[in-house]
Amino acid sequence: MDVGVRETSGNIYVPRYSALQRVNHWITAILFVLLALSGLAMFYPWLYFFFVFFGGGQATRNLHPWFGVGLVVSFFFLAVQFVRNNIPNRDDVKWMRNFRKVMTNDHENLPELGKYNAGQKGVYWSQIGLILVLLITGLIIWDQYFYDWTAIPAKRWALLIHSLAAVIAIAIIIVHIYAGIWIKGTGRAMTRGSVTGGWAYLH
Protein backbone atom coordinates (compact mmCIF):
# COMPACT_ATOMS: atom_id res chain seq x y z
CA MET A 1 0.00 0.00 0.00
CA ASP A 2 1.32 3.43 -0.94
CA VAL A 3 2.14 5.72 1.95
CA GLY A 4 1.09 9.34 1.77
CA VAL A 5 3.71 12.07 1.85
CA ARG A 6 3.08 15.26 3.78
CA GLU A 7 4.37 18.33 1.94
CA THR A 8 5.39 21.66 3.41
CA SER A 9 1.86 22.96 2.73
CA GLY A 10 0.56 20.43 5.25
CA ASN A 11 -1.40 18.46 2.65
CA ILE A 12 -0.91 14.72 2.34
CA TYR A 13 -0.26 13.43 -1.19
CA VAL A 14 -0.61 9.81 -2.25
CA PRO A 15 1.43 8.35 -5.15
CA ARG A 16 -0.76 7.32 -8.10
CA TYR A 17 1.44 7.10 -11.20
CA SER A 18 5.17 6.54 -11.60
CA ALA A 19 7.32 8.77 -13.81
CA LEU A 20 7.54 6.00 -16.42
CA GLN A 21 3.75 5.65 -16.52
CA ARG A 22 3.29 9.39 -16.91
CA VAL A 23 5.83 9.63 -19.74
CA ASN A 24 4.20 6.63 -21.45
CA HIS A 25 0.77 8.26 -21.06
CA TRP A 26 1.86 11.60 -22.57
CA ILE A 27 3.65 9.94 -25.49
CA THR A 28 0.45 8.01 -26.20
CA ALA A 29 -1.63 11.18 -25.85
CA ILE A 30 0.58 13.17 -28.23
CA LEU A 31 0.54 10.39 -30.83
CA PHE A 32 -3.25 10.17 -30.52
CA VAL A 33 -3.60 13.91 -31.19
CA LEU A 34 -1.27 13.70 -34.20
CA LEU A 35 -3.25 10.75 -35.52
CA ALA A 36 -6.58 12.49 -34.95
CA LEU A 37 -5.52 15.72 -36.67
CA SER A 38 -3.87 14.00 -39.64
CA GLY A 39 -6.79 11.58 -39.98
CA LEU A 40 -9.42 14.33 -39.79
CA ALA A 41 -7.49 16.28 -42.43
CA MET A 42 -8.06 13.37 -44.83
CA PHE A 43 -11.59 12.70 -43.61
CA TYR A 44 -13.52 15.81 -44.66
CA PRO A 45 -12.84 18.78 -46.98
CA TRP A 46 -13.64 21.37 -44.30
CA LEU A 47 -10.75 19.97 -42.27
CA TYR A 48 -8.13 20.13 -45.03
CA PHE A 49 -6.48 23.05 -43.22
CA PHE A 50 -4.98 20.49 -40.80
CA PHE A 51 -2.65 19.50 -43.64
CA VAL A 52 -0.57 22.58 -42.94
CA PHE A 53 0.58 21.07 -39.62
CA PHE A 54 2.17 18.11 -41.40
CA GLY A 55 3.71 19.69 -44.48
CA GLY A 56 0.90 19.20 -46.98
CA GLY A 57 -1.45 16.47 -48.14
CA GLN A 58 1.11 13.95 -49.38
CA ALA A 59 3.26 14.30 -46.27
CA THR A 60 0.16 13.83 -44.10
CA ARG A 61 -0.79 10.63 -45.94
CA ASN A 62 2.73 9.32 -45.44
CA LEU A 63 3.00 10.28 -41.76
CA HIS A 64 -0.46 9.19 -40.60
CA PRO A 65 0.11 5.41 -40.66
CA TRP A 66 3.49 5.79 -38.93
CA PHE A 67 1.82 7.79 -36.16
CA GLY A 68 -0.53 4.82 -35.91
CA VAL A 69 2.32 2.35 -35.53
CA GLY A 70 3.83 4.53 -32.81
CA LEU A 71 0.49 4.75 -31.00
CA VAL A 72 -0.02 0.98 -31.06
CA VAL A 73 3.42 0.38 -29.54
CA SER A 74 3.09 3.11 -26.90
CA PHE A 75 -0.48 2.15 -25.99
CA PHE A 76 0.49 -1.52 -25.70
CA PHE A 77 3.05 -0.74 -22.99
CA LEU A 78 0.54 1.56 -21.27
CA ALA A 79 -2.25 -1.04 -21.37
CA VAL A 80 -0.04 -3.81 -20.01
CA GLN A 81 0.85 -1.72 -16.97
CA PHE A 82 -2.81 -1.07 -16.07
CA VAL A 83 -4.56 -4.30 -17.05
CA ARG A 84 -4.67 -5.68 -13.50
CA ASN A 85 -6.48 -2.59 -12.21
CA ASN A 86 -9.06 -2.66 -15.01
CA ILE A 87 -10.56 -6.11 -14.51
CA PRO A 88 -14.35 -5.63 -14.14
CA ASN A 89 -16.03 -6.77 -10.93
CA ARG A 90 -19.39 -6.58 -9.10
CA ASP A 91 -18.58 -3.18 -7.60
CA ASP A 92 -18.54 -1.77 -11.13
CA VAL A 93 -22.17 -2.81 -11.60
CA LYS A 94 -23.14 -1.03 -8.36
CA TRP A 95 -21.19 2.04 -9.46
CA MET A 96 -22.99 2.15 -12.81
CA ARG A 97 -26.39 1.78 -11.14
CA ASN A 98 -25.58 4.84 -9.04
CA PHE A 99 -24.13 6.87 -11.89
CA ARG A 100 -26.50 9.77 -11.19
CA LYS A 101 -24.96 10.11 -7.74
CA VAL A 102 -21.50 10.05 -9.31
CA MET A 103 -22.47 12.94 -11.62
CA THR A 104 -23.72 15.00 -8.65
CA ASN A 105 -20.68 14.15 -6.48
CA ASP A 106 -22.87 12.28 -3.99
CA HIS A 107 -20.47 9.53 -2.93
CA GLU A 108 -22.14 8.49 0.33
CA ASN A 109 -23.65 5.19 -0.82
CA LEU A 110 -21.28 4.27 -3.61
CA PRO A 111 -19.28 1.03 -3.29
CA GLU A 112 -15.60 1.18 -2.41
CA LEU A 113 -13.54 0.93 -5.55
CA GLY A 114 -10.05 -0.04 -6.53
CA LYS A 115 -7.81 2.24 -8.57
CA TYR A 116 -10.38 2.78 -11.35
CA ASN A 117 -14.15 3.06 -11.52
CA ALA A 118 -16.40 1.46 -14.14
CA GLY A 119 -16.26 4.53 -16.37
CA GLN A 120 -12.47 4.51 -16.46
CA LYS A 121 -12.46 0.78 -17.11
CA GLY A 122 -14.87 1.37 -19.97
CA VAL A 123 -12.47 3.86 -21.54
CA TYR A 124 -9.58 1.41 -21.10
CA TRP A 125 -11.27 -1.60 -22.74
CA SER A 126 -13.02 0.38 -25.46
CA GLN A 127 -9.75 1.96 -26.52
CA ILE A 128 -8.05 -1.44 -26.61
CA GLY A 129 -10.79 -2.73 -28.92
CA LEU A 130 -10.89 0.39 -31.09
CA ILE A 131 -7.12 0.60 -31.49
CA LEU A 132 -7.05 -3.07 -32.50
CA VAL A 133 -9.73 -2.37 -35.13
CA LEU A 134 -7.84 0.72 -36.31
CA LEU A 135 -4.61 -1.29 -36.57
CA ILE A 136 -6.15 -4.10 -38.65
CA THR A 137 -8.12 -1.82 -40.97
CA GLY A 138 -5.21 0.61 -41.18
CA LEU A 139 -2.89 -2.13 -42.45
CA ILE A 140 -5.46 -3.12 -45.07
CA ILE A 141 -5.63 0.42 -46.48
CA TRP A 142 -1.88 1.14 -46.17
CA ASP A 143 -1.36 0.87 -49.90
CA GLN A 144 2.31 1.86 -49.79
CA TYR A 145 3.18 -1.53 -48.31
CA PHE A 146 0.07 -3.73 -48.48
CA TYR A 147 -1.70 -2.76 -51.71
CA ASP A 148 -1.51 -6.24 -53.25
CA TRP A 149 -2.64 -8.04 -50.11
CA THR A 150 -6.37 -7.25 -50.37
CA ALA A 151 -9.00 -6.57 -53.02
CA ILE A 152 -10.53 -3.15 -53.67
CA PRO A 153 -13.90 -4.00 -52.00
CA ALA A 154 -12.06 -5.08 -48.85
CA LYS A 155 -10.14 -1.81 -48.82
CA ARG A 156 -13.38 0.18 -49.13
CA TRP A 157 -14.97 -1.64 -46.20
CA ALA A 158 -11.77 -1.29 -44.19
CA LEU A 159 -11.70 2.46 -44.86
CA LEU A 160 -15.31 2.82 -43.70
CA ILE A 161 -14.74 0.79 -40.52
CA HIS A 162 -11.45 2.61 -39.87
CA SER A 163 -13.18 6.00 -40.10
CA LEU A 164 -16.07 4.98 -37.83
CA ALA A 165 -13.70 3.51 -35.22
CA ALA A 166 -11.58 6.66 -35.30
CA VAL A 167 -14.60 8.93 -34.74
CA ILE A 168 -15.74 6.80 -31.78
CA ALA A 169 -12.22 6.71 -30.32
CA ILE A 170 -11.91 10.51 -30.59
CA ALA A 171 -15.31 10.99 -28.92
CA ILE A 172 -14.31 8.71 -26.02
CA ILE A 173 -11.03 10.56 -25.53
CA ILE A 174 -12.87 13.90 -25.47
CA VAL A 175 -15.05 12.54 -22.64
CA HIS A 176 -11.92 11.18 -20.94
CA ILE A 177 -10.25 14.60 -21.06
CA TYR A 178 -13.40 16.37 -19.89
CA ALA A 179 -13.74 13.98 -16.92
CA GLY A 180 -10.11 14.64 -15.98
CA ILE A 181 -10.81 18.38 -15.93
CA TRP A 182 -14.24 18.13 -14.31
CA ILE A 183 -13.06 16.04 -11.34
CA LYS A 184 -10.89 18.50 -9.46
CA GLY A 185 -7.43 17.19 -8.56
CA THR A 186 -7.33 14.47 -11.21
CA GLY A 187 -4.97 16.34 -13.53
CA ARG A 188 -2.27 16.38 -10.85
CA ALA A 189 -2.02 12.59 -11.07
CA MET A 190 -0.72 12.71 -14.65
CA THR A 191 1.43 15.81 -14.22
CA ARG A 192 3.01 15.23 -10.81
CA GLY A 193 2.18 11.58 -10.20
CA SER A 194 0.27 12.07 -6.96
CA VAL A 195 -3.17 13.04 -5.64
CA THR A 196 -4.28 14.50 -2.35
CA GLY A 197 -5.27 12.17 0.46
CA GLY A 198 -8.81 13.52 0.24
CA TRP A 199 -9.01 12.78 -3.49
CA ALA A 200 -7.74 9.24 -2.90
CA TYR A 201 -10.28 8.64 -0.14
CA LEU A 202 -13.17 10.02 -2.20
CA HIS A 203 -12.37 8.35 -5.51
Active site residues: 176
Least Cα distance to 120 among 98, 97, 100, 96 occurs for 96
| 30-51 per-residue burial string, b: 16 or more CB within 10 A, e: under 16 | ebbebbbbbbbbeeeeeeeebb
How many whole angstroms separate alpha carbon 131 and alpha carbon 121?
15
How many whole angstroms separate alpha carbon 11 and alpha carbon 171?
35
| Inter-residue contact 88 to 118 (CB < 8 Å) | yes
How many whole angstroms separate alpha carbon 116 and alpha carbon 121?
6
Strand-pairing partners, residue 196, are 13
Least Cα distance to 171 among 122, 115, 136, 106 occurs for 122
The alpha carbon of residue 171 and the mean position of all alpha carbons in its chain are separated, in whole angstroms, by 10
